[in-house]
Amino acid sequence: MRAKAVKACNLVSNKLLIASRQKLQEVMESPSITINENAVEQVVSTKSLGVYVDQNVNWECHIENISKKIACAIGAITRIRHLTPFNILIKVYNSLVQPHCDYCYVVWGNCNKGLYEKLQRLQNNAARTPNFCEL
């Protein structure tokens, strides 16, 4: 029987300092963290469980990411709406757009008004697309 070689994979690790802008400016030097003699890189934003979090917790990075996905979904719905029955278009909307708006809303739902309105405009456009309304 041959022994199988197990190759250790490098885990991607990063650290994120979360604080207000004022507190982050007060921090002179970020703490250095090492795992198995590998330095852990400090990042400005990171993705955890599908939600992008930045160091100021203002959700701008997350809303931008959701907006890109919803815009792509609107394009897909627009391309197929002439060929597909209305009830199928509604199912496509519920599959491609609605989950991005609903996922972890409890966490990022307290974003600022400008980001919320941007997302709301995109969702309204997506809802109008199956009806052949003007975007």
6 located within any domain? no
Coil, strand or helix at 95: helix
Decide: residue 100, CB within 10 A, 0-12 exposed, 13-18 middle, 19+ buried.
Answer: buried
Between CA 57 and CA 83 the distance in angstroms is 42
52 located within any domain? yes
3 located within any domain? no
pLDDT of residue 95: 92
Q: What percentage of the chain reaches a pLDDT higher than 70?
A: 75
Query: 79 lies in which domain range?
Result: 14-131
pLDDT of residue 12: 59
35 located within any domain? yes
60 located within any domain? yes
Q: Note whether 39 and 14 are within 8 A (CB).
A: no
Overall domain count for the chain? 1
Structure token pair of residue 128: 């109008």
Judged by average pLDDT, the poorest of 6-15, 66-75, 103-112 is: 6-15
18 located within any domain? yes
Average pLDDT value for residue range 85-93: 90
**Average pLDDT in the chain:** 77
Q: What is the pTM of this model?
A: 0.70
Coil, strand or helix at 52: strand
pLDDT of residue 62: 86
82 located within any domain? yes
Structure token pair of residue 116: 């919320």
Structure token pair of residue 119: 């997302």
5 located within any domain? no
Helix, strand, coil proportions of the chain in percent (round to 5)?
50, 10, 40
